[in-house]
Structure 1
Amino acid sequence: MSSKNDSNTNSNAPANSSDDARAELTAQVEDLLNTLSNKFAGVSSEIFAKMDEMSRRLDNLEAQLVSVKDPKTSSN
């Protein structure tokens, strides 16, 4: 009977090893996806901040151009 138990143990070992490897791979992929998601969120925030800054600067430039073009409006 011990030979049957040994063969069962041996046949289960690759399945358990395969399951462990699959679980480890899944965990690593999920970690990678989380890391990429966090980096994407950070880059997105930076881009939006730069766009807001650019919009503010363009608004200031537009106001300066309007005041230079029509000096009557800047004196009022």
Structure 2
Amino acid sequence: MKAHEGDVLRFTGRTVGCPEHHATVVKVLGQNGEPPYRVRYEDGHETEIFPGPGCVIETRPAHETSFGRPHRVRR
């Protein structure tokens, strides 16, 4: 998995009733775009993560800043 600053990580719900959530990559801490990532969730809190198998990276256009439709999806 490789991400860049500004990409959005989409976490799918793995259990019934657990909604999908999103986090924006604010800093790539690994080498060559690999984890760990410093991310900011929709509610504003930040943390460092190693994404698991239920995560998809949505690459965003440089001018798009809000959560919305992805430009392209990388797995």
Q: Which category of TM-score, normalised to the shorter sequence, fits these structures?
A: under 0.3
Q: Which has the higher contact order (CA 8 A, sep 6+)?
A: 2
More helix, by proportion:
1
TM-score normalised to structure 2 length: 0.12
Larger radius of gyration: 1
TM-score normalised to structure 1 length: 0.12
